[in-house]
Chain A
Amino acid sequence: MSKHNLDYLDELEAEAIHILREVAGQFEKPALLFSGGKDSITLVRLAEKAFRPGKFPFPLVHIDTGHNFPETIQYRDEMVARLGEKLIIGHVQDSIDQGKAIEQKGKNASRNALQTVTLLDTIAQHQFDACIGGARRDEEKARAKERIFSVRDEFGQWDPKRQRPELWNIYNGKIHKGENVRVFPISNWTELDVWNYIRRENIALPSIYFAHERDCITRNGQLMAAAEFLNMDEEDVITRRNVRFRTVGDMTCTAAVESDAYLIDDIIDEISASKISERGARMDDKVSEAAMEDRKKGGYF
């Protein structure tokens, strides 16, 4: 390698910073969607690189389903305090209380789908014209085709047939009033890239990413953390397991994997050897082969 060829992590980082600065330069009211997961934590680190010593030109926005892992919320609050940046929280419970969203019933009830309602409401209320998210193209095949600047109509809908050509490093963020753009700065990163970057940058993560002992139940062949939101009944047998989580979503739809990965090096080894993709641990993608495509068309990230 020539000394002036960028190492892949440097190249991915530089691309993501460029995209974040384009958002700052092109939009009036952008926001960074923060889920508490490793991908959005990575985005926060990239935003520090892009804008420090200045303030972020956008607030962080968290769509709180009320079914989060407590560890995620604790992490979020500590991080925001350290950064000194603004946090806006959209509560799914508010959407339910206002009658805009209806709580699912039954054993597999999840608030995952309701998030979209709260997200769209929060976007409308604050008139955000761009929302930065941590989705990656390697996660799923609908995402593999989505642009870095993904234009959504006022209903948040993604129309794969209306995607704008995206050439070189030129991003067209021009929109009509009411539309907004979802921006994905780490589109070209893989799961392993994110972990290698977190290790290189020494970024702290919520503790549930690392192996720990926890009460679990088995649902649809997958291990779930025992929690009051899971509508558990006598069929659900609680066992104590050594687990960790590969993604951080709701407790109702994020499956655990049995693991002894206590350190980030262990996790990187585990993922390198793993034969199950990350979204394979998300029950929400299992519904149909086009689950993600359909949800994106409905306004989901």
Chain B
Amino acid sequence: MEILKFITAGSVDDGKSTLIGRLLYDTDAILADQLEALHRSNRKNDDGSIDLAILTDGLKAEREQGITIDVAYKYFQTEKRKFIIADAPGHIQYTRNMVTGASNANLAIILIDARKGVVEQTNRHSFLVSLLALPQVVVCINKMDMVDYDEATFNQIVDQYKVLAAKLNLQNVTYIPVSALKGDNIVNQSANMTWYDGKNLLEHLETAEIPVDDSAAHARFPVQWVVRPQTEELHDYRGYAGRISSGAFKVNDQVTVLPSGFSSTITKIELLDKEFNEAFAGQSVTIHLQDEIDISRGDVLVNSLAKPEVSQLIEADLCWMDTRVLDTSLTYLIQHNSKVTRCRIQEVLYKFNINTLDKVYEEEFKLNDIGRIIIKTADPLAFDVYQNNKANGGAIIIDSRTNVTVGALMLRAAVE
């Protein structure tokens, strides 16, 4: 069985919490004591049924304010698949939380209120999905019960969204008419919309493709730790421990260590008592090389036939995540896989108005701002273009005064 990770984008008003609550409730993922707490609660829908949105309520602070501040992770499974939901708040002041939730997802559910159609925040959510390069989008047109389950309304919104999807180059988009409140087309096929013959949401989630990354073409292995027991019987043991971030490695592959550039051959791939002839993206393993070369944490092993970019000057998209504004005169830290080095944002090229998707030429980078910049790093980074290889194209910026993560970087190209 595999795991599908998805994010839900929408605000409280779109019925996002109700949709997640409905998925959990109708797949029997709610346990008796949680259900009891739910029934005890005073919050009820107008018709007296339990308010499923309560299931996604988290912290006291959030309940007091009636909003979602942070990403909550929810887990459920069916006979076909396991699911991890990153439930992220949708308001503009929580853009960074949505970016965080989207960074690890395979699929995004975008909620649109059938009464309102594509609105400003639909633009924003869709832009973030394209920025973070999520491969699949499901547009749930919700509250169909409020528009009499009208097919024409659904089709009109689909047409609206297609324009946006084309503009953002979203390739794989599916449209489903739903009512999270009433349960139409979430887990059960709706009797109210017989005109819709596509999959319901759960069926779609159960069958959506999970991309496989097993090509040698961009095999990357960031070294996290060097295993050296230095005991008498294992005197010469030297294994490089890490998790393959993309592609596949085989025994006898020629690999290059970056940024140093030394090459060697893989002699063994192992994990505890298991040996592998081949290992691929996502696996944590320990790799042995033929030659004794100086390799430490922060280095990356790559297939010698397909090297990434290596540069100290890189163009990137930046999402700023801190209340302190970006200071282009300040030295920050950049963390890219296991590598940490100093950096400076050398130039802000432009920012995006994430509601209208227009470019804005303005230097100041505030909390939740997104734009294109040029970053200069103290040590060279061995990276891939984020849109082609998320695992080796994403990085974070850390403010060394506060140690807080202040920015997310989607690396785009080495600057000549």
Interface pair B72/A1, CB less than 8 Å apart: no
Tell me the residues in window 52-82 of chain A with beta carbons closer than 8 Å to chain B beta carbons.
Answer: 52-55, 57
From A6-14, A33-41, A206-214, the one touching the partner chain is: A6-14
A27 to B19, CA, bound (A): 41
Interface flag for B398 (CB, 8 Å): yes
A17 to B227, CA, bound (A): 14
Q: Interface residues of B: mostly helix, strand, loop or mixed?
A: mixed
Q: How large, as a class, is the contact surface on chain A?
A: 35 or more
Interface flag for A43 (CB, 8 Å): no
Chain B residue at minimum C-beta to C-beta distance from A57: B225
Interface flags, B55-82, vs A, CB<8A=1, else 0: 0011111000000011111110100001
Interface flag for A109 (CB, 8 Å): no
Interface flags, B210-235, vs A, CB<8A=1, else 0: 10111000000000110111000010
Contacts of B74 in A (CB 8 A): 144
Interface pair A160/B59, CB less than 8 Å apart: yes
Chain B residue at minimum C-beta to C-beta distance from A51: B227
Chain A residue at minimum C-beta to C-beta distance from B226: A54
Tell me the residues in window 118-156 of chain A with beta carbons closer than 8 Å to chain B beta carbons.
Answer: 137-138, 141-142, 144-145
Tell me the residues in window 360-416 of chain B with beta carbons closer than 8 Å to chain A beta carbons.
Answer: 390-391, 394-396, 398, 400, 403-405, 408
Tell me the residues in window 132-173 of chain B with beta carbons closer than 8 Å to chain A beta carbons.
Answer: none
Tell me the residues in window 200-228 of chain A with beta carbons closer than 8 Å to chain B beta carbons.
Answer: none
Interface flag for A50 (CB, 8 Å): yes
Contacts of B97 in A (CB 8 A): 165
Interface flag for B256 (CB, 8 Å): no
Interface pair A142/B58, CB less than 8 Å apart: yes
Interface flag for B249 (CB, 8 Å): no
Interface pair A141/B225, CB less than 8 Å apart: no
Interface pair A14/B283, CB less than 8 Å apart: yes
Looking at the assembled complex, report how far the CB atom of A150 sits from the nearest CB atom of chain B, in whole angstroms: 12
Looking at the assembled complex, report how far the CB atom of A263 sits from the nearest CB atom of chain B, in whole angstroms: 22
Interface pair B395/A53, CB less than 8 Å apart: no
From A18-26, A99-107, A232-240, the one touching the partner chain is: A18-26
Interface pair A167/B224, CB less than 8 Å apart: no
Q: From the candidates A6, A141, A166, name the one contacting B100 in the complex (CB within 8 A).
A: A166
Looking at the assembled complex, report how far the CB atom of A129 sits from the nearest CB atom of chain B, in whole angstroms: 12
Interface flag for A260 (CB, 8 Å): no
Looking at the assembled complex, report how far the CB atom of B238 sits from the nearest CB atom of chain A, in whole angstroms: 10
Interface pair A7/B57, CB less than 8 Å apart: no
A13 to B335, CA, bound (A): 23
Looking at the assembled complex, report how far the CB atom of B285 sits from the nearest CB atom of chain A, in whole angstroms: 9
Interface flag for B187 (CB, 8 Å): no
Q: From the candidates A50, A142, A160, A275, name the one contacting B32 in the complex (CB within 8 A).
A: A275
Q: From the candidates B3, B31, B70, B84, name the one contacting A276 in the complex (CB within 8 A).
A: B31
Interface flag for B241 (CB, 8 Å): yes
Interface flag for B185 (CB, 8 Å): no
Interface flag for A49 (CB, 8 Å): yes
Q: Interface residues of A: mostly helix, strand, loop or mixed?
A: loop
A53 to B229, CA, bound (A): 6
Interface pair B338/A25, CB less than 8 Å apart: yes
Contacts of A170 in B (CB 8 A): 335-337, 394-396
Contacts of A165 in B (CB 8 A): 96-97, 99-100, 321, 396, 405, 408
Interface pair B73/A277, CB less than 8 Å apart: no
Contacts of A161 in B (CB 8 A): 61, 69
Contacts of B214 in A (CB 8 A): 4
Interface pair A10/B32, CB less than 8 Å apart: no
A17 to B398, CA, bound (A): 24
Contacts of A7 in B (CB 8 A): 1-2
With contact pairs A164-B405, A168-B103 given, residues A5 and B72 touching in the complex (Cβ less than 8 Å): no
Contacts of A112 in B (CB 8 A): none
Tell me the residues in window 241-271 of chain B with beta carbons closer than 8 Å to chain A beta carbons.
Answer: 241-243, 245, 248, 271
Contacts of A242 in B (CB 8 A): none
Interface pair A1/B284, CB less than 8 Å apart: no
Q: From the candidates A11, A169, A289, name the one contacting B3 in the complex (CB within 8 A).
A: A11
A166 to B97, CA, bound (A): 9
Q: From the candidates B69, B241, B408, name the one contacting A21 in the complex (CB within 8 A).
A: B241
Looking at the assembled complex, report how far the CB atom of B404 sits from the nearest CB atom of chain A, in whole angstroms: 6
Q: From the candidates A25, A50, A172, name the one contacting B396 in the complex (CB within 8 A).
A: A172
Interface pair B104/A144, CB less than 8 Å apart: no
A52 to B75, CA, bound (A): 31
Looking at the assembled complex, report how far the CB atom of A213 sits from the nearest CB atom of chain B, in whole angstroms: 26
Q: Report which A residues bind B (CB closer than 8 A).
A: 1-2, 4-8, 10-15, 17-18, 21-22, 24-25, 48-55, 57, 137-138, 141-142, 144-145, 160-161, 163-170, 172, 174-176, 187-188, 190, 274-277, 280, 289-290, 293-294
Q: Provide 25 A-B residue pairs closer than 8 Å at the C-beta atoms, listed in order of the A residue.
A: A1-B2, A7-B2, A8-B1, A8-B82, A17-B271, A17-B284, A18-B242, A21-B243, A22-B338, A24-B225, A25-B297, A49-B272, A50-B225, A51-B241, A138-B75, A164-B405, A167-B100, A170-B395, A188-B75, A188-B84, A190-B75, A280-B31, A280-B32, A289-B60, A290-B59
In the A-B complex, the 3 residue pairs with the smallest Cβ-Cβ separation, listed nearest first, are: A275-B32, A17-B284, A174-B403
